[in-house]
């Protein structure tokens, strides 16, 4: 018997599960603002565009959205270079649009998390402009890291740190009279000077900014470079090159310093002083799950992205190892684990898992999505993964905007390929993205991947996500809680949760198992005979027991 499983369950949210922290089980959808939906035809997504598409997100079944930075910015790094933390960039709308968006989301039962970028400002931020104007090395410069250069005439950078985007992490300033001056630190682009978090004014300003957005009603913050604010005293040399390769592999004098935790504790107190469970989510690259868990201790942040899961290779053994490690580490501090496969900084997983074979990549991506949504904890979905979008790998150089691409040897420099605007409908670009064009060209083949094209097709990736999220709400064993590994053949992962079993065949050939329950969702068609089920290659199945 062949059984095709694509149920159309749409139950209401389980209210009891929200009782002890909505975020512990939440599915949080990342909206990359400039690429989600464009309301005014300039080819760039905006806040009104998102508001118009909120019913789509509510129907998809997510609990919350995370909006990437929409603040006033010269856009040297896609808005992660903020010039005014309390203003909306005209590209994306006005403050009233942010207000409307949050209200409308709440009306539809969706929470809203916004990005906060505390490690650095834009070089056009009033503070940095004042620092440049202030040659006296006075108070204005103390908000950043200014240092004299090394070498006889200060012509060498103050230390050997490299920017994550490639090249030195220091840029020399020019004094008003035209002579070369001090250097300033920027772990990212030169347009992103690092703030000095030893400075009391910096700390106070960010608490005020957090209050500004909390007062507007946001449900929390995704904290950009949450591991970077504190630098080792004396800014010591690292003593080697290719430092970007060490990120997430070891503690560096500029990343994952113990001092950052005090900042997160202060922010937690602030979040807790507001009603309604406002949360903080760390974007932190730490060398081990244990060090990552420090960011989510009970008096620190609520969640941290699980990049170990994101970077894990396809395969039963590596995946099981990462799952075990992640669960053990967060359990040790009582925090929920998070699961994430893609975001705006990495190659989309539908491409990553395929190693050049798009069909294989998509098949594995669908299976990985069911795995992730069945694991204990909270899940982050990156816009477009629910459509099975691949990375766009052939963008012409002249349309690229990622600063990492232009600075060469640092971070992979290919981040534009996962930021191509979403296809919503129609047979021609921009596929309903907006009334104008789209800031990055969309592949023609995306006509078949649009929301419109996939809606109602039970075999589509979109309907798979819809069904999975609906079941996740309906089945009490999913979301936060425990899981138990079950015996399974080599290459197959099987685990149970109350009333539920998940099986993932990671092999390139089929696997035969005893039927563990009633199948409720599967990424491919299953074959049953007697008491066994044949699970095709690279397939995940959910079972009710
Ligand atoms: C984070 C963001 C990334 C940005 C960087 C600098 O890693 O996710 O997009 O370039 O911080 O702010």
Same domain, 273 and 316: yes
Whether residue 32 is found in the same domain as residue 82: yes
482 is catalytic: no
Mean pLDDT in the chain?
94
Residue 402 CB–ligand 1 contact under 6 Å: no
What pLDDT score does 406 carry?
78
Q: What is the pLDDT of residue 152?
A: 96
Tell me the whole-structure pTM to 2 decimals.
0.95
Q: Is it the case that residue 405 has pLDDT exceeding 90?
A: no
C-beta pairs of 11-15 under 8 Å, 24+ apart in sequence: 11/470, 11/473, 11/474, 12/473, 13/63, 13/109, 13/473, 14/473, 14/474, 14/476
The domain of 161 spans 126-185
Question: Which pair of structure tokens corresponds to residue 375?
Answer: 């694991």
Mutate to test the pocket of ligand 1, among 224, 248, 405 (most ligand atoms within 8 A of CB): 224
Q: What average pLDDT score do residues 89-96 get?
A: 98
How does residue 12 score in pLDDT terms, banded at 50, 70 and 90?
A: very low
In a domain, 83, yes or no: yes
Q: Is residue 61 one of the residues assigned to a domain? A: yes
Residue among 77, 82, 116, 166 to mutate when testing ligand 1 (max atoms within 8 A of CB): 77
Task: Say how far apart CA 447 and CA 463 lie, in whole Å.
Answer: 17
> Quick check: is 335 in a domain?
yes
Co-location of 156 and 206 in the same domain? no
Q: Do 267 and 345 share a structural domain?
A: yes
Catalytic residue among 46, 191, 283, 463: 283
The predicted pLDDT at position 377 comes to 97
Residue 299 pLDDT level (bands cut at 50, 70, 90)? very high
- Is residue 18 a part of any domain in this protein? no
Average pLDDT over residues 411-424: 85
In a domain, 12, yes or no: no
Please tell me the distance from the alpha carbon of residue 342 to that of residue 494, in angstroms, as a whole number: 23
| Beta strand pairing call for 220-223 and 111-116 | parallel
Half-sphere exposure of 94 (CA within 13 A, CB side): 1
Are 157 and 168 contacting, i.e. CB atoms less than 8 angstroms apart? yes
- Cβ 225 under 6 angstroms from ligand 1: yes
Residues 230 and 346 in one domain: yes
- pLDDT of residue 135 exceeding 80: no
Task: Looking at the CA of residue 80, tell me the nearest atom of ligand 1.
Answer: 12
Q: What is the pLDDT of residue 314?
A: 98
| CATH code of the domain containing 326 | 3.20.20.80
Give tens-digit pLDDT for 190-221: 999 999 999 999 999 999 999 999 999 999 99
In a domain, 422, yes or no: no
Strand-pair category, 378-382 with 27-31:
parallel
Q: Is residue 178 domain-shared with residue 267, that is, in the same domain?
A: no
Q: Which two tokens stand for residue 325?
A: 């490690």
Residues 42 and 140 in one domain: no
- Concatenating the DSSP letter of every residue in 152-193 gives TTS-B-SS--B-TTSSBSEEEEE-TTS-EEEEEE-SS-TTSP
203 and 266 together in one domain: yes
CB-CB contact of 112 with 23 (8 Å): no
**Mean pLDDT calculated for residue range 17-26:** 78
Active site residue 283: yes
Of 63, 224, 256, 300, catalytic: 224
Residue 406 lies in a domain: no
Give me the number of domains the chain comprises: 2
Residues 86 and 215 in one domain: yes
Give domain status of residue 534, yes or no.
no
At 148, which CATH number?
Answer: 3.90.400.10
User: Which of 472, 506, 528 delimits the end of a domain?
Assistant: 472
How far apart are the C-alpha atoms of 167 and 241, rounded to whole Å? 10
Handedness of CA 363, 337, 28, 20 (dihedral sign): positive
CA–CA gap between residue 338 and residue 296 (Å, rounded): 11
Same domain, 211 and 83: yes
Average pLDDT over residues 116-138: 92
Whether the CB of 345 sits within 6 Å of ligand 1:
yes
Clarify whether residues 155 and 93 are in a common domain: no
Pair (178, 97) in one structural domain: no
Q: Tell which residue, 443, 434, 441, 415, has the closest CA to residue 79.
A: 415
43-79 as b/e: b if 16+ CB within 10 A: bbbbbbbbbebbebbeebbbbbbbbbbbbbbebbbbb
Cβ-based neighbours of 311, under 8 Å, separated by 6 or more: none
């Amino acid at each position: 018997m062949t059984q095709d499983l694509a149920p159309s369950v749409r139950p209401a949210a389980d209210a009891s599960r929200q009782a002890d922290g909505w975020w512990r089980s939440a599915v949080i959808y990342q909206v990359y603002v400039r690429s989600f939906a464009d309301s005014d035809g300039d080819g760039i997504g905006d806040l009104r565009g998102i508001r118009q598409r909120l019913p789509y997100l509510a129907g998809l079944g997510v609990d919350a959205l995370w909006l990437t930075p929409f603040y006033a910015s010269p856009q040297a790094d896609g808005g992660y270079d903020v010039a005014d933390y309390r203003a909306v960039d005209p590209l994306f709308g006005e403050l009233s649009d942010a207000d409307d968006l949050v209200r409308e989301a709440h009306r539809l039962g969706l929470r809203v998390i916004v990005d906060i970028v505390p490690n650095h400002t834009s070089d056009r931020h009033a503070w940095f402009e004042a620092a440049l104007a202030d040659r006296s090395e006075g108070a204005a410069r103390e908000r950043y890291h200014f240092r004299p250069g090394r070498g006889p005439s200060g012509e060498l950078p103050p230390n050997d740190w490299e920017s994550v985007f490639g090249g030195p992490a220091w840029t020399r300033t020019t004094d008003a009279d035209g002579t070369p001056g001090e250097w300033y630190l920027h772990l990212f682009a030169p347009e992103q000077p690092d703030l000095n978090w030893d400075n009391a004014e910096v700390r106070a300003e960010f608490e005020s900014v957090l209050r500004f957005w909390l007062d507007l009603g946001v449900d929390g913050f995704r904290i950009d470079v949450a591991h970077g604010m504190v630098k080792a005293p004396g800014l010591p040399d690292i003593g080697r090159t290719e430092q970007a390769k060490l990120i997430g592999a070891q503690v560096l004098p500029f990343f994952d310093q113990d001092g950052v935790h005090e900042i997160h504790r202060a922010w937690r107190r602030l979040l807790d002083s507001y009603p309604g469970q406002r949360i903080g989510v760390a974007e932190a690259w730490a060398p081990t799950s244990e060090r990552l868990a420090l960011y989510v201790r009970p008096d620190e942040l609520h969640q941290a992205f699980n990049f170990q899961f994101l970077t894990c290779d396809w395969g039963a053994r590596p995946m099981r190892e990462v799952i075990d490690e992640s669960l053990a580490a967060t359990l040790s501090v009582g925090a929920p684990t998070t699961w994430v496969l893609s975001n705006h900084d990495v190659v989309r997983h539908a491409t990553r898992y395929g190693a050049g074979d798009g069909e294989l990549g998509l098949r594995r991506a669908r299976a990985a999505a069911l795995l992730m949504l069945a694991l204990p904890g909270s899940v982050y979905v990156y816009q477009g993964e629910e459509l099975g979008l691949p990375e766009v790998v052939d963008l012409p150089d002249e349309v690229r905007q990622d600063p990492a691409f232009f600075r060469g040897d640092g971070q992979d420099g290919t981040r534009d390929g996962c930021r191509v605007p979403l296809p919503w409908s129609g047979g021609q670009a921009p596929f309903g993205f907006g009334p104008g064009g789209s800031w990055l060209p969309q592949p023609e083949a995306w006509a078949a991947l649009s929301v419109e094209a996939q809606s109602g097709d039970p075999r589509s990736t979109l309907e798979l996500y819809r069904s999975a999220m609906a079941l996740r709400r309906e089945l009490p064993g999913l979301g936060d809680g425990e899981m138990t590994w079950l015996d399974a053949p080599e290459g197959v992962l099987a685990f149970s949760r109350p009333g539920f079993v998940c099986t993932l065949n990671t092999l390139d050939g089929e696997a035969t198992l005893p039927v563990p329950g009633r199948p409720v969702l599967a990424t491919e068609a299953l074959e049953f005979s007697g008491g066994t089920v044949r699970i095709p290659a690279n397939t995940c199945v959910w079972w009710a027991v």
